[in-house]
Amino acid sequence: MIAIYPGSFDPITLGHLDIITRGSQLFEKVIVAVLSNPSKKPLFTVEKRIEQITYCTKNLSNVEIDSFAGLTVTYAKLKSAKVLLRGLRVLSDFEKELQMAHTNKTLQEDIETVFLATTKEYSFLSSSVVKEIAQFGGEIAHLVPKEIAEDVYSYYQKL
Ligand code: PNS
């Protein structure tokens, strides 16, 4: 069974990697799908994010990286995926995630959303938290893979 793990991944964190790694043990194939959304102002281009995620998942043979625009369910259908994979960190995630899952179900009945509880060490972690800390020169080495930390720091140094 193929699972799509959709998201912004701006940038990928250790929390995302936790979900990808555990998802890759549950599904035949996991496609990490980076949403291309021009209306958001991302730190990294879609191409850069694909490069970063590809690097971080190079040891996972059944993980593919791609990008998509538009509806996640349309992309999932195109890839013959039956599952949308999402991580749940804390209760406050639940409301938004349940709304998305229900919406997606109304759009494409045969695609299921499967939630994995994020490993508790990463339950506070988000790409936004990483950006906020890095912006003020704080330590992010425990939040993202080393190479990603370098990319994030270089971004803010160039500003
Ligand atoms: O990493 P994020 O930003 O939490 O991911 C959100 C994402 C990409 C999963 C969500 O915004 C999404 O699926 N966007 C595509 C548009 C879509 O399918 N909308 C209908 C579901 S509400």
Question: Is residue 38 scored above 90 in pLDDT?
Answer: no
Catalytic residue among 40, 41, 120, 146: 40
How many angstroms does the Cα of residue 70 sit away from the middle of ligand 1?
A: 9
Q: What is the pLDDT of residues 56-67, one digit of tens each?
A: 999 999 999 999
Predicted local distance difference test score (pLDDT) of residue 50: 98
How many angstroms does the Cα of residue 72 sit away from the middle of ligand 1?
A: 7
Q: What is the 3-state secondary structure (H, E, C) of 59-103?
A: CCCCEEEEEECCCHHHHHHHCCCCEEEEEECCHHHHHHHHHHHHH
Q: What is the pLDDT of residues 110-135, one digit of tens each?
A: 999 999 999 999 999 999 999 999 99
CATH of 2-158, one of 3.40.50.620, 3.30.420.40, 3.40.190.10, 3.40.50.300: 3.40.50.620
Banded model confidence at residue 159, pLDDT cuts 50, 70, 90? low
Banded model confidence at residue 157, pLDDT cuts 50, 70, 90? confident
